[in-house]
Amino acid sequence: MRIRVWNFRMPVRLLTLTLSNRSEVFDLKYCEMPGISEYIQQPVLTGLRDKASYVRRAAVLGCAKMQSLQGDPEVDGAVVNELYAMLRDLDPIVMVNCLRALEEILKHEGGVVINKPIAHHLLNRMKDLDYWGQSEVLAFLVRYKTRAEDEVFAILNILDGCLKSNQPSVVMATTKLFLLLAEDFPNVQVDVLERVKGPLLTICTSECHELCFLGLCHAREILRSLPGHFSGHYKKFFCTYSEPNYIKYQKMEILRDLVNDENVQQILEELQTYCTDISVELAQMAILNIGRIARMYSEKCVVILTGLLGLKQEHITSAVIQTFRDLVWLCPQCTVTVCQALPGCEESIQDTEGKQALIWLLGMHGEHIPNAPYVLEELVDNVKMETSAAVKLELLTAMVRLFLSRPAECQDVLGRLLYYVIEEELDMAVRDRGLLYYRLLQQGVEEAKRVVCGPRSDPSLGVISGQANEAVSAWAKDFNTLIPIYGREHWGCLTAQKGNSLEMLQVSAVKSDETDSNPEQSEEMVLDSGSVSLETSAHLSPEQFEEHWVRLEAAKVVTLDWHRDPRPDAIQSAFQFVHIHPVAISRAGAQPWKAYMFARNETGSLFLTELLIETSKRDVQVTVKQENSSEGLLNCFIAVVKSVIQTLGESEG
């Protein structure tokens, strides 16, 4: 390729280039210079009528670039009409490029309009397009609204062969179009989903992890309307050792939805093997899904969950106890079996969520657990060392409930707990709860029973047990988009706050656990990847944050550029997206502006972060404190924080 020197005083040179170089002009990658727009308009328009199709392809895209260079919201009607006319160009790539160019030029007016003549012309040209062009055209055909039933089925017949394409993008785009066209024909929608079952299963078992994840997310969308749609192929969703965790999570949830009388034993055995995985989060997710299956097959699941308690692993025991807590509410017939499995579990639980679940079970069903008062007594004796207000609140309620059913064994313990809470506790919520129970007990035992042990909620109401199946039309418009991946609400927040660029942060911020079964290599592999895996559901109360912040020394302080007023809502959403959780954030306009956040990774390291923007400065000071110090993890975490701040600066700039 020859390097040309542009002479802005001689625009006629653009018209005298050879064929190979004429097409280079219209990509306009060298033309982002002041004053050059007036010189390129005529050559680009001339290129639209060039005899060489390759030149026309580039000239069409040049029209879109020319419009963006002008920066004028008003659209040149002559160019738009010319591009609409060129949709009938003999070259199929020119036709597709025209669609993309019109979409860019008319984006402020809703994009390219697909009417009946254009739609039928595009349908007739489908056979001439490659798979990329077919995917593009199918995406635009979604906008066409048919009026006659005959036309709907005529279009379905024309595109029937696309459902058998070996290209996933074509299959997904065709499926979405079929579902939307057949919106008034539910039976046709079901038939379409049945026909694409094979191609979709092929996507779900692809060696490309990204493509596999996409297929699994869409498979879950289908299961919202057609439970058991893939039941005959449930083994396709068994996890392999080499798959990253984000794929295993999706597969486990699909397996949970595919359970029936014929495959329940095989699926439970498969999930049971995941419960002892080296990844704590994966093991807990497997236990949670067994608990969901237990709502239909309680006897089989309780046997498996009880056996897991014998492993005496802290994270496994905690997850099982949390599952038991939900299970006894939804399946009261399991209460006796669950209560028989609880003795001894208190020795293996240290995390807040596990303690809360165990305390709730001891308080609610303590009459069936012989050592319940003594387990709670030990917790009361150590209440001064407890840092979680949620555990203290649960302990108060449990002691009052157990006192009302076993007063002789609990009276002294409850008295000591109430005295500590009312006289010494610093957390006002805990103190107020203690005062409430103290005054309630003064009204008499019967009144306390009426309030504390009142009627329980009916699980048959379906608040937790599940919802009715959705119609296909409820999610058809989201098919073949990013919404099945992010979720409708999350995607709405990202797009509303101009946070689309935040999608790129997920790669650098949250690396899925792809390590093998050797725990000694786990940390090394994470460090080598330059990323840190942060917990999605980490919890830290403001009081705990303050305690850690005062105790720990600053591990690193960095200063980053920041040239605008902070937007608390956007900053909070951005950091939550990468699993860094805000604790306290100043309101907009506060001087100085501060934000305090925390994150915890899967190896137990806790990161505390302060963002500080002074009144007169043009930068943000980031202070990071770390518990369980690791220089490599610290550097990776700071890289994540920098990425978020830089991305926010670019998106708001």
Specify the higher pLDDT residue, 543 or 115. Answer: 115
- In sign, the C-alpha dihedral spanning 318, 319, 325, 331 is negative
Please tell me the predicted confidence (pLDDT) of residue 192. Answer: 92
Please tell me the predicted confidence (pLDDT) of residue 652. Answer: 52
Residue-averaged pLDDT of the chain? 82
Specify the higher pLDDT residue, 621 or 523. Answer: 621
Please tell me the predicted confidence (pLDDT) of residue 79. Answer: 87
Question: Would the pLDDT of 521 be above 60?
Answer: no
Say how far apart CA 36 and CA 46 lie, in whole Å.
17
Domain 11-191 has CATH 1.10.260: no
Q: Amino acid letter at 113?
A: V
Specify the higher pLDDT residue, 9 or 486. Answer: 486
Question: Would the pLDDT of 482 be above 70?
Answer: yes
Question: Would the pLDDT of 43 be above 80?
Answer: yes
Of 87-91, 444-448, 615-619, the least confident:
615-619
Mean pLDDT (whole number) for 18-35: 50
Of 100-104, 111-115, 453-457, the least confident:
453-457
59-86: b (≥16 Cβ within 10 Å) or e: bbbbbbbbbebeeeeeebeebbebbeeb
Question: Would the pLDDT of 461 be above 60?
Answer: no
Question: Would the pLDDT of 617 be above 80?
Answer: no
Q: Give residue-wise pLDDT tens across range 545-594.
A: 888 888 888 888 888 888 777 888 788 878 888 889 888 888 877 788 88
Question: Would the pLDDT of 2 be above 80?
Answer: no
Say how far apart CA 264 and CA 301 lie, in whole Å.
10
Per-residue pLDDT band at 512 (split at 50, 70, 90) = very low
Q: Same topology for domains 11-191 and 487-652, yes or no?
A: no
Please tell me the predicted confidence (pLDDT) of residue 531. Answer: 52
Q: Give residue-wise pLDDT tens across range 151-185.
A: 999 999 999 989 888 888 999 999 999 999 998 88
476-503: b (≥16 Cβ within 10 Å) or e: bebbbebbbebeeeebebbeebebeebe
Omega within 30 of 0 (cis) for the link into 566: no
Question: Would the pLDDT of 358 be above 80?
Answer: yes
Please tell me the predicted confidence (pLDDT) of residue 12. Answer: 30
Residue % of the chain over a pLDDT of 70: 85
Please tell me the predicted confidence (pLDDT) of residue 588. Answer: 77
Query: Best-predicted range by mean pLDDT among 186-195, 465-474, 492-501, 609-618?
Result: 186-195
Backbone angles phi, psi at 609, to 5 degrees: -130, 140
The residues that bridge with 534 in the sheet, in sequence order, are: 601
Of 2-11, 323-332, 492-501, the least confident:
2-11
Specify the higher pLDDT residue, 19 or 580. Answer: 580
Please tell me the predicted confidence (pLDDT) of residue 228. Answer: 85
Say how far apart CA 48 and CA 563 lie, in whole Å.
43
Per-domain residue ranges for the chain?
11-191, 227-350, 359-454, 487-652
Q: List, in sequence order, every beta strand (DSSP E) within 423-576.
A: 554-561
Question: Would the pLDDT of 362 be above 70?
Answer: yes
Mean pLDDT (whole number) for 383-408: 91
Question: Would the pLDDT of 491 be above 60?
Answer: yes
Please tell me the predicted confidence (pLDDT) of residue 34. Answer: 55
User: Please, are residues 180 and 477 in contact by the beta-carbon 8 Å criterion?
Assistant: yes
Going by C-beta distance under 8 Å and a sequence separation of 6 or more, which residues neighbour residue 387? 541, 543, 544, 547
Q: pTM of the prediction?
A: 0.68
Mean pLDDT (whole number) for 492-504: 54
Specify the higher pLDDT residue, 114 or 2. Answer: 114
Mean pLDDT (whole number) for 28-54: 73
Classify domain 487-652 by CATH number. Answer: 3.30.310.10
Torsion region of 304: left, alpha or beta (phi above 0 gives left; psi -120 to 50 gives alpha): alpha
Question: Would the pLDDT of 21 be above 90?
Answer: no
Tokens of 345: 């579990």
Vertex 286: Cα angle to 284 and 288 (nearest 5): 70
Specify the higher pLDDT residue, 1 or 177. Answer: 177
Please tell me the predicted confidence (pLDDT) of residue 323. Answer: 93
Per-residue pLDDT band at 505 (split at 50, 70, 90) = very low
How many helices and strands, by DSSP H and E, does the chain display? 31, 5
Specify the higher pLDDT residue, 488 or 316. Answer: 316
Say how far apart CA 286 and CA 251 lie, in whole Å.
10
